[in-house]
Structure 1
Amino acid sequence: MTLENKKNIFVELGRFLSQFSEAENLQKEGVLGNAIFFDSFVDLIQLSQSHNGWYTPEQVHYAIQSWAKALTSENLNEWLSMYNFDNVKPKKIALILAGNIPLVGFHDFLSVLITGHDVLVKTSSNDQHLLPFLAKYLIHIAPELENKITFSEGKLENFDAVIATGSNNTARYFEYYFKDKPSIIRKSRNSIAVLNGEESKEQLIALGEDIFRYFGLGCRNVSKLFVPKGYKFDSFFEALFEYQNVIHYEKYANNYDYNKAVFLMSNFKLLDNGFLTIKEDSSHASPISSVFYEYYENLSDLEKKLEAEADTLQCIVSNNLIKNSVSFGQTQQPKLWDYADNIDTISFLLIT
């Protein structure tokens, strides 16, 4: 199968996914496989929350639309144009996927297949249905993929390289267990935002998207703010009022009540708006329903600090205060070439 053939297959998948949104699920003329897969996918989206309580239809639709927008000819061509695929020798690549947000492992799945390798997938127990469904769709529209896609529920065996994603603890296990295989082992990372007090209300509202999308469960969610000495949080809280309905979701509300109680029993000083607590803390990793903050005195010193901590950071959000930072509201809309942990997955697969 040529690279162009593979790109066309994923463009068709993008067209299929583009039919499903929170506003409506609307069949488009000429989309392959609709007669078999459209209604089933609508049902799966609605059932996703029963499989994983955090996978509300809103969050699943958002993930689906993100991939629909990514899987276009223009994006695939721009992404893949920087690589040479002439000498790829197909191998079997094992994927151990996370399940914190819907379809979080799809980029690895796409990368393996687009480079011409076979993929052996072990899904997370938290996300066992969405990716296998999309794999069945791909095999339906391109039967030649059937022998290139395998899902495993047991021990992974007979593979040549591995890409595994997990916590810092599981990463140590992965590093030992796969020490004899070429590998990418991803650990826990967090995203932070750097403010200077000159942000507009619209920018702070957009920052709320970076904080609350997927209930804050992703590594691209902002979990820590760096603010200048004397920063007043009034405008921040006022802007985030747009997201107040998050507290009506039971799992989020339970986390809010629990984490707030833990903080208060520990006599920590908190700022609280009724659905989000913020706490001064040097850590980047805050619990669900909470964001940590830390003061800085000058941006130059802060930038040096963040450079030293780069291995623990996924995204930095700012209004161009920090080099290579992401604009407000954009952390959950990565491009195909925005690699997790800044590790170029395609380059790894081309030399494996």
Structure 2
Amino acid sequence: MTIDDHKSHLITLGKFLKQFQTSNSVMNSDIPGNNKFFEEMNQKIDSAIHHNGWFTRENIIFALQQWSEALTPRNLKLWLGEYDLSESGDKTVGIVMAGNIPLVGFHDFLSVLVSGHKVLVKLSTNDRQLLPVIASYLMHLDSRYENRIRFTDNRMKDFDAVIATGSNNTARYFEYYFKDKPSIIRKNRNSVAIITGNETKEELEKLSEDIFRYYGLGCRNVSKLYVPENYDFDSFFKAMYKWNPIINQDKYANNYDYNKAVYLMSEFKLLDNGFLMLKEDESFGSPIATLFYEKYQDEKELKDRLKENEEKIQCIVKKESNTNEVTFGQTQKPQLWDYADNIDTIDFLSKL
């Protein structure tokens, strides 16, 4: 299968995913395979919501829409144009996927396929519904995918390389178990935002998307703020207010209540608006419904500190981004060439 074949199929897949909406999804009869897969995909969305209480239809549809916007002719050309994939292929690459947000391992899945390799997927128990139907859709578009995509519920075997994503604890297991294979092992990472105090309400509202989308469960979600000395959080809280319905989600509300009780019993100082707590803390990873913050005086010194901790950070979010930074509202809208942990997956796969 050529790279142009892959691009053609992924463009069609993008059009297929674009049909699904939070309400009133409408089937486009011009898209191949819709008679077979449109209703099945809708059913799998409902099934995913049933199996994982954090997966709402809104968040699943958001993920599908981001993928539909990514899988365009222009983006695929920009993504793959710089690589020579003529010599790569025919290896079997195992992927151990996380399940914190919908389709979180999809980029690795696509990367293996477009590199000409076969993929062996071990799904997370938290996200088992969506990817298999997408894989079946690709097989419908081209039967050659049937020999290139496999799923397993058991321990992976008969593979040549691996991409595994998990916590810092599971990463130690991965590093031991896969020590004899070429690998990409991903650990815990969090994202941070730098506030200058000059942001408009609209800019801070965009930042709220980076904080609350997927309930803050993704590694690209902002879990910590850096704010100037004497920063007035009033404007920040006002910009967050549009997300206040999030407290009506039972799992989020339970985490909010539990963490608030723990903080109050420990007599920690908190800022609280009824659905989000701010706690001054040097750590990067904050609990659900909590955002850590830390004060800074010199932005250059802050950047040096963040550089020293780059292995713990997925994204640095700012009003005006520079290289390797992200603007407000864009953390959950990565491009195909925005690689997790800054590890070029395609380059890794092309050298197997």
TM-score, structure 2 as length reference: 0.99
Separation in 2, partners of 1:98, 1:7: 25
Residues 255-274 of structure 1 correspond to what in structure 2 (within 5 A)? Answer: 255-274=255-274
Amino acid at match of 2:116: G
2:170 is the alignment partner of 1:155: no
Q: What is the alpha-carbon distance in structure 2 between the residues aligned to residue 89 and residue 318 of structure 1?
A: 39
Q: What is the rounded CA distance, in whole Å, between the counterparts of 1:261 and 1:172 in structure 2?
A: 32
RMSD (Å), alpha carbons: 0.9
Distance in 1, Cα, partners of 2:130 & 2:323: 36
- The aligned counterpart of 2:312 is 312
C-alpha separation in 1, matches of 2:69 and 2:244: 28
Q: Deviations over 1:44-85 (max 9, x none)?
A: 212221111100101100001010100111100110001001
Instruction: Tell me the residue number matched to 1:249.
Output: 249
**Match for 1:125: what amino acid?**
T
Contact 1:194 1:321 in 2 (8 A): no
Letter of the 1:187 counterpart: K
> What secondary structure is seen at the aligned counterpart in 1 of 2:224?
strand
The residue number in structure 2 matching 1:102 is 102
State the partner residue of 1:39. Answer: 39
Deviation of the 1:324 alpha carbon: 3.2
Alpha-carbon distance change, 142 to 322 in structure 1, aligned in 2, over 3 angstroms: closer
Instruction: Confirm or deny: 8 A CA contact 1:246 1:252 kept in the other structure.
Output: yes
207-216 or 40-49, which moves further after superposition? Answer: 40-49
- Aligned-partner Cα distance in 1 for 2:116–2:324: 31
Aligned amino acid, residue 303 of structure 2? E
Q: Which whole-Å deviations, capped at 9, do the CAs of 1:224-260 have from their partners, x for residues lacking one? A: 0000110010000001001000001111000100011
What does residue range 47-58 of structure 1 map to in structure 2 within 5 Å?
A: 47-58=47-58
Runs of 4+ in 1 over 4 A off after TM superposition: none
> Which amino acid in structure 1 is aligned with residue 337 of structure 2?
W
| Cα separation, 2, equivalents of 1:227 and 1:238 | 16
**How far off is 1:323 after superposition?**
5.0
Within a 5 Å distance, the mapping from 1:187-226 to structure 2 comes to 187-226=187-226
Report the counterpart of residue 9 of structure 2 in structure 1. 9
Match of 1:324 in 2: 324
Report 1:12-91 matches (<5 A): 12-91=12-91
Shift of 1:141: 1.2
Percent identity of equivalent pairs? 55
Residue segments in structure 1 that go unaligned for 5+ positions in a row: none
Deviation (angstroms), 1:321 = 6.6
- Cα distance in 1 for partners of 2:129, 2:41 equals 10
Opposite residue 343 of structure 1, the aligned amino acid is I
- In structure 2, what is the Cα distance between the partners aligned to 1:154 and 1:321? 43
In the alignment, the residues of structure 2 paired with residue 189 and residue 321 of structure 1 have an alpha-carbon distance, to the nearest angstrom, of 19
Offset at residue 42 of structure 1 (A): 1.2
Q: SS where residue 326 of structure 2 aligns?
A: coil
Q: Check conservation: 1:255, 1:288, Cα contact below 8 A.
A: yes
The CA distance in 1 between the partners of 2:75 and 2:258, in whole Å, is 42
Distance in 2 of aligned mates of 1:324 and 1:291:
22
Residue in structure 2 matched with residue 279 of structure 1 by the alignment: 279
CA distance in 2, matches of 1:24, 1:175: 45
Contact kept in structure 2, 1:52 and 1:126, CA below 8 Å? yes
In structure 2, what residue type is equivalent to 1:318? K
Contact 1:168 1:188 in 2 (8 A): yes
In structure 2, C-alpha distance between the alignment counterparts of 1:39 and 1:149, rounded to whole Å: 22
Partners in 2 of 1:123 and 1:143 — Cα distance?
Answer: 22
Name the CA distance, whole Å, in 1 between partners of 2:312 and 2:322. 16
Tell me the secondary structure at the aligned position of residue 185 of structure 1: strand
Aligned to 2:296: 296
How far apart are 1:23 and its partner, in Å?
4.1
- Compute the displacement of 1:213 (Å): 0.1
| SS of residue matched to 1:164 | strand
Preserved CA contact (<8 Å) 1:14 1:69: yes
Gaps of 5+ in 2: none
TM-score, normalised to structure 1, is 0.99
Cα offset, 1:89, TM superposition: 3.7
Partner residue, 1:349: 349
Report the residue type matching 1:74 in the other structure. R
Residue 321 of structure 2 contacts residue 327 of structure 2 at CA under 8 Å; is this kept in 1? no
Contact 1:303 1:322 survives alignment (8 Å): no
Cα deviation 1:282-311 (Å, max 9, x = unaligned): 001000000000000110100100111111
